[in-house]
Amino acid sequence: MRKQLIGLGLAGALSLGFGWATAAHADDNPASDTANSASDTAKSANDQAQRAAGSADEAAKNASDQAQKASDKADEAAGKADDAAKSAGQATDKAAQDTSDKAKGATDKAKGAMAPSE
């Protein structure tokens, strides 16, 4: 019986020793290190992709803002050109009317000068 107890004790001690040795080796597993490294690389790539998407979104927003500003300036310039054209048209009409009035006045004078004296 003594031999059996000693045998069981040795067997138990050996099995515990192998268990601890296995656990120690599991922590130093190169496959898990590789998996962790791949996971870190994937996270880094995802972060870079998100930053790039944010930059692209910001660039698109800036381009849209610039296009809107250009459109506003073009509308403003078109409005000014329209106002200038109306003003020029009005000035032309006034000049034509003034010329017509002067010509009519000159014609009336000429008719008065040609009329026989009574």
- In the predicted model, is pLDDT for residue 31 greater than 80? no
Nearest to 43 by CA among 35, 88, 29, 102: 35
- The pTM assigned to this predicted structure is 0.42
Which position has the higher pLDDT, 25 or 11? 11
- In the predicted model, is pLDDT for residue 48 greater than 90? yes
Q: What is the mean pLDDT of the chain?
A: 79
